[in-house]
Amino acid sequence: MPGLLWNDTPIGYARLALERGVDRYPDGLTYGIPEGLDTLAVGDRVVAPLGRGNTPTSGYIIEMVEKETLDEAMADRIKLIHDRDPSGARLPRDVLELARWISSYYVCPIGVTLAGILPAAVKRGVGRVTRSWIDLNPDPTDQKTTSRQQASVMEYMRGLDPEQRPVELNELARQLGLGTTGPIKKLLEKGLLLQDRRTGIHANAPGSLSSRTVQVEPTSEQLVVINDVLEVLDKGFSQHLLFGVTGSGKTEVYMRLIESVINRGQCALVLVPEISLTPQTASRLSGRFPGTEVAMLHSGLTAAQRNHQWNLVCQGQCGIVLGARSAVFAPIPDGQLGLVIVDEEHDNSYKQDQAPRYNGRDVAIRRAQLADCPIVLGSATPSMESWFNSVARKRSTLHRLRHRAPGLTSPRVDIIDMTRQRRLMEDPQDQISAPLSEAIGQVLAEDAQVLLLQNRRGYASYIACPDRNCGWIDTCEHCDASLVCHSSTLGRSLKHLRCHHCQKQQLARKTCPNCNRTVVMLGSGTQRIEEEVRRRWPHLQEDAVQRLDSDTTRGNDRLHRILEEFGTGRIRILLGTQMIAKGLDYPGVRLVGVINADTALNVPDFRSSERTYALLAQVTGRCGRGLDQSTALIQTYKPDSRAIRLAAAGAFEEFAREELADRAAFELPPCRRMARIVAREADETNALTLAERIHGGLQSLVGRYPDMLLTPPMPCPIARIAGRYRFQVELTAPDAPSLSAMIAAARSMEIILPSENIVVDVDPVSLL
Ligand code: ADP
Ligand code: ZN
Ligand code: ZN
């Protein structure tokens, strides 16, 4: 192995990003290139010795370094790269640049950033198999076959058309009905047959929903958008926001643009929130271009499939790369990327909630800049960030689709005031009001389908003492949060409690520990709604009602099956969390019911109103996808709240105007840029001390940058998670460059060092 002796003289130098938490961001560590590795280039994955023990560690070459730029003392102490990494992986320059940008913008060591980019399956070479391809020897020695089986192999091979050869070894045995490959191997030994061994990655094709892939004529509205973007397709980087109401046919616009990119021999990168939740979009895209290789990168793949797909992309064989958040790092060769699309760009799942805490949408914009190609962000409910960028800052071109596609109708949306309805309801535990119940009954009588949204998992949100003076609520031992009650899969009457923050589970208490009264369950989750639905419509068969939330869909197959069955109409009522609000396009849905629109409004986060608007607009948009008139009913205790009122009216632009005015008045994103720094420690005093130290350090820097705001240390809204106390400091700046500059200064002065105890979240999405 070259380079083991690290006092050898290097033939060159390179900067490496090693996959350990060593923090030399964003520049990496300098190593020497040993003799024999002179073909190493930027992007190559290598193994190098790290630390005192010289532990062999994998990483990437991020930059070549001239000897002259090293100081002499340092050049003498430099270690040598061991070797290329056995995975043989290489990252394109664009992806490395992207990683460096993430490392500096989101304050994460370059090694950790890069470690998250290459899937583990690729690193380990999962599914890599060597296969033997068998052919006739055109120049055989004069040996004879010595068994009937051998003779039949030879006869079969000679009978094949030349283009049917070579045949893979096991496949040949199967075609001949041989139980073993023995006879073929004998023929190889004799030299009557030849074999060619090739290494490749073997994986089954990833499954997807079958889909109707009818070619449609774009409407005049769609054509305007298509042509506007096509016009700038070869003119370098440009940013577009496609604001199209639900059902306006945004996917059709994407497909026309992608078609044009493929025809130029380039590749389109398409990001969707979570493929498993939007299988329809995925299958439509892949079904539309049968002659084009479509790579899918998502969490539902087996390791071998993931490795296979990644390698297809690397080899530049794909016309479309489709995936969730991390697909933004797809190794599309430099120069091949012609268009980036981010569908449902408002979706929170684009933000990664562990280091590096990047937002896939924003990284996608950066990637398009590096590739010098256009990017289209699409949504019926654009994020305030994207809307602000387009309408106020004019950074992106706004395109509108105001009407639903032909064949769709606009649903009628009504608000149900639950304060009034509650008085008329007999059972305080019931959640379905009379008007909603009537509407469901009618749709069922007409043989159509119902979607019900309840954005809470489990059975009940709180277990509490019925005595108000006692006020006991069952909370998690390790978190400042109430335990959620789930009914067991073993039997509906069996209940257990689970903490949604640390996942700890325990058996439900029957009585209050303070006063011994029998506890009550408050707040309804999807399981309880399912129970009420089954009780109210007992004639519905077991499988005609289906619940869809992350508890029922561990595993993609299950989800696919539920959606297939909903497509066939066998499932009459599908009820679930926000999972059912995303992208479903089924013409049989004639009623959408929202059980409680207020769940998201009550969260202590400045985006609660924006989220409520988006959720309601998205879920009500799931009906009216056939020709029949359809209705959406929204139950709420706050019928006058802006988000609910305007979502029901479908008045996004009015909502955005008022919301942005509020954000400006309260100096909140997107009008300002925010970084949130959380200090967390097992000991409460230590956590506060750490937060105060960070705050003090930042305070001393704030004066150097104009118009910065810093909040004093405060407990986080959830003040303790998994046994650690949490205090936060929020920093806001007038723009991204000044925020970055100040954070970089704080980094180099070691005021904030990202570690287990300090979380730096730039452009945070969740403030809990
Ligand atoms: P969005 O993503 O904007 O909510 P979709 O792309 O799901 O909307 O489109 C909604 C439905 O309208 C789909 O079934 C799609 O096939 C259909 N559709 C889109 N464009 C057209 C068109 N020009 N003519 C007919 N049907 C269309
Ligand atoms: Zn907990
Ligand atoms: Zn009590």
Residue 129 makes CB contacts below 8 A (sequence gap 6+) with 199, 200, 201, 202
Q: CATH 3.40.1440.60: which residues of the chain?
A: 12-124
Give the position, in ligand 1's atom list, of the atom nearest the Cα of 343. Answer: 2
CA–CA separation, 164 and 493 (whole Å): 61
User: Which ligand neighbours the alpha carbon of 223 most closely?
Assistant: 1
Give the count of beta carbons closer than 10 Å to the beta carbon of residue 518.
Answer: 10
Q: Name the architecture of domain 128-201.
A: Orthogonal Bundle (1.10)
CA–CA separation, 539 and 452 (whole Å): 18
| 250 touches ligand 1 (CB under 6 Å) | yes
Which amino acid residue places its CA nearest to atom 15 of ligand 1?
A: 249
CA–CA separation, 731 and 743 (whole Å): 9
| 681 touches ligand 1 (CB under 6 Å) | no
Q: How many CA atoms lie within 13 A of 766 on its CB side?
A: 15
CATH top-level class of 412-458+526-662: alpha beta
Q: Is 1 helix (H, G, I), strand (E, B) or coil?
A: coil
In this structure, the chain runs to a length of 768
Residue with tokens 């879920």: 619
pLDDT for position 550: 80
Q: How many CA atoms lie within 13 A of 343 on its CB side?
A: 29
Q: CATH 3.30.70.100: which residues of the chain?
A: 673-762
pLDDT for position 339: 98
Give the position, in ligand 1's atom list, of the atom nearest the Cα of 244. Answer: 3
| 405 touches ligand 1 (CB under 6 Å) | yes
Residue 509 Cα to ligand 2 middle (Å): 16
In sign, the C-alpha dihedral spanning 505, 508, 512, 516 is negative
Tell me the one-letter amino acid at 507: L
Give the count of beta carbons closer than 10 Å to the beta carbon of residue 7.
Answer: 7
pLDDT for position 206: 54
CA–CA separation, 631 and 448 (whole Å): 12
pLDDT for position 429: 86
pLDDT for position 1: 42
CA–CA separation, 235 and 338 (whole Å): 10
User: Which ligand neighbours the alpha carbon of 497 most closely?
Assistant: 2
Number of H helices, E strands in the chain: 22, 31
pLDDT for position 614: 97
Assign 3-class secondary structure to 584-643. CCCCCEEEEEECCCCCCCCCCCCCHHHHHHHHHHHHHCCCCCCCCCCEEEEEECCCCCHH
Pocket test for ligand 1, best of 222, 225, 241, 251 (most atoms within 8 A of CB): 251
Cis-peptide into 670, omega within 30 deg: yes
Q: Which CATH number fits domain 673-762: 1.20.1300.10, 3.40.50.1010, 3.30.70.100, 3.40.30.10?
A: 3.30.70.100
Which amino acid residue places its CA nearest to atom 25 of ligand 1?
A: 406
| 222 touches ligand 1 (CB under 6 Å) | yes
Tell me the one-letter amino acid at 398: L
Give the position, in ligand 1's atom list, of the atom nearest the Cα of 251. Answer: 6
| 379 touches ligand 1 (CB under 6 Å) | no
| 246 touches ligand 1 (CB under 6 Å) | yes
**Residues 70 and 108 sit within 8 Å (Cβ to Cβ):** no
Burial class (CB in 10 A: 0-12, 13-18, 19+), 574: buried
Q: Name the architecture of domain 220-401.
A: 3-Layer(aba) Sandwich (3.40)
Q: CATH 1.10.10: which residues of the chain?
A: 128-201
Which amino acid residue places its CA nearest to atom 19 of ligand 1?
A: 249
Going by C-alpha positions, the residue among 569, 460, 615 that lies closest to residue 525 is: 460
Q: CATH 3.40.50.300: which residues of the chain?
A: 220-401, 412-458+526-662
Pocket test for ligand 1, best of 215, 216, 221, 252 (most atoms within 8 A of CB): 252
The pLDDT tens digits for 298-329 are 777 778 888 888 888 988 989 999 998 999 99
Cis-peptide into 713, omega within 30 deg: no
Residue 246 Cα to ligand 1 middle (Å): 9
Burial class (CB in 10 A: 0-12, 13-18, 19+), 564: middle
Residues of the chain with pLDDT under 70: 1-8, 21-27, 73, 125-130, 142, 198-214, 275-279, 489-493, 554-556
- CA 399 to chain CA centroid, Å, is 25
Give the position, in ligand 1's atom list, of the atom nearest the Cα of 245. Answer: 3
CA–CA separation, 766 and 669 (whole Å): 13
**Residues 742 and 705 sit within 8 Å (Cβ to Cβ):** yes
Q: Which fold has domain 12-124?
A: GIY-YIG endonuclease (3.40.1440)
In the DSSP assignment, the letter for residue 672 is S
Q: Name residue 321's beta-bridge partners.
A: 269, 295
Residue 427 Cα to ligand 1 middle (Å): 42
